[in-house]
Amino acid sequence: MSADASEGVFGLRAGLLALAVVAVWGTNFVIIRLGLDALPPLLFAALRFAAVVVPAVFFLKRPPVSWGTLAAYGLAIGLGQFGLLFIAIDGLIAPGLASLVVQVQVVFTIGFAMRASGERLAPVQYLALALAIAGVAIILAHTGGATTPLGVALVLGAALCWAIGNMVQRAAGRIDMLAFVVWSSLFAIPPLFGLALIFEGAPRIVEAVAMAGPLVWLAVAWQAVGNTMFGYGAWGWLLARYPAGSVAPMALLVPVFGMGASALWLAEPLPGWKLGAAALILGGLAVNLFGPRLLAQRAASRA
């Protein structure tokens, strides 16, 4: 165990590891876009989760949760979040912008959590919500070309499914997140392949697989190994050893890497309205993350 971990201090090595995770998660939106040049979206998503399951499921012990919990998470994240996200990035929304819009999952997660607990939003959370909604409104006002209203709607649907998955995971308690993701992926594969057969057709699937080159399979492997195995494994390791308040803020950098990588590799334009929307959405997420804590600290200092 590193000295940082033994002391519970979020030091340089832990910070670099967290930075590597968010860099992988952010740039993954570009990898998705590149993979979609050769594979139809539902097939690509199905192959992604198949690569997550095999061979990891034979080496990771099934987490101590019900099959229903695994199925709910697998369907919410695999079929819902990534199924919709892959369809959206397949020509309906720019990948960098998708990496930003999907972060609205935080708003949905808060709403679900509040409803489950019966709590009400704090005033500072209303501000956070207003900022995020304003950012999405700016995006909707500038649809056209690479970004369509349907693309934004699909990514918002993906964010909603991500939030549902978050609630399922939260109800599951403290578990091995990597094993949870691997075993739950068993339930994402059949519906994704089934829908691929229905909507994309067997001839297109056969042709896409036959024509796929090494770079395409590398993109599939990156989804499984980089985005899932490394990403979830390292993030879970960090959350198990350091305060969530030190680790969680790093996730705000995901759309920064996503938009930056898309601009660099795919020449996605970054006009003022897009940067303004990013500032509002990320600002809202930051206010929600830090606002209640700062107000609590301020109240405690006055007591």
pLDDT number for residue 7: 45
DSSP calls for 72-93: HHHIIIIIIIIHHHHHHHTTTS
Q: Apex CA 170: angle with CA 162 and CA 300, to 5°?
A: 110
Q: Are 13 and 247 in contact (CB under 8 A)?
A: no
Rounded distance, CA 132 to CA 128, Å? 6
pLDDT at 5 over 70: no
pTM value? 0.90
The amino acid that residue 247 corresponds to is V
pLDDT number for residue 10: 65
pLDDT band at 289 (very low <50, low <70, confident <90, very high): confident
For the chain, percent of residues with pLDDT exceeding 70: 95
DSSP state of 174: S
240: CB partners within 8 A, 6+ apart: none
pLDDT at 296 over 80: no
pLDDT number for residue 145: 76
Taking alpha carbons only, the member of 245, 268, 243 closest to residue 255 is: 268
Q: Are 68 and 243 in contact (CB under 8 A)?
A: no
How much is the average pLDDT of 180-187? 96
pLDDT (tens digit, 9 = 90+) per residue, 87-121? 999 999 999 999 999 999 888 888 887 888 776 77
pLDDT at 233 over 90: no
Q: Which residues of 17-55 are buried (b: 16+ CB within 10 A; e: fewer)?
A: bbeebbbbbbbbbbbbbbbbebbbbbbbbbbbbbbbbee
Rounded distance, CA 220 to CA 48, Å? 5
pLDDT number for residue 235: 86
pLDDT at 137 over 90: yes
Q: What is the mean pLDDT of the chain?
A: 90
Taking alpha carbons only, the member of 192, 229, 222, 212 closest to residue 53 is: 229
- 3-class DSSP state for residue 173? coil
pLDDT number for residue 293: 73
pLDDT number for residue 9: 55
Structure tokens that stand for 22 in this block: 């968010």
What is the number of helices (H) and of strands (E) in the chain? 17, 0
pLDDT at 125 over 90: no
pLDDT band at 67 (very low <50, low <70, confident <90, very high): very high
Structure tokens that stand for 25 in this block: 């998660």
Q: Which residue has the higher pLDDT, 228 or 51?
A: 51
Rounded distance, CA 260 to CA 267, Å? 10
Q: Which residue has the higher pLDDT, 74 or 246?
A: 74
In the chain, the N- to C-terminal Cα span, in Å, equals 39
pLDDT number for residue 154: 98
Q: Apex CA 137: angle with CA 136 and CA 143, to 5°?
A: 90
pLDDT band at 303 (very low <50, low <70, confident <90, very high): low
Structure tokens that stand for 82 in this block: 């990534």
How much is the average pLDDT of 119-137? 86
pLDDT at 6 over 60: no
Rounded distance, CA 213 to CA 11, Å? 41
pLDDT number for residue 114: 80
pLDDT at 16 over 60: yes
pLDDT (tens digit, 9 = 90+) per residue, 36-60? 999 999 999 999 999 999 999 999 9
Rounded distance, CA 57 to CA 151, Å? 33
How much of the chain is helix, strand and coil, in % rounded to 5?
80, 0, 15
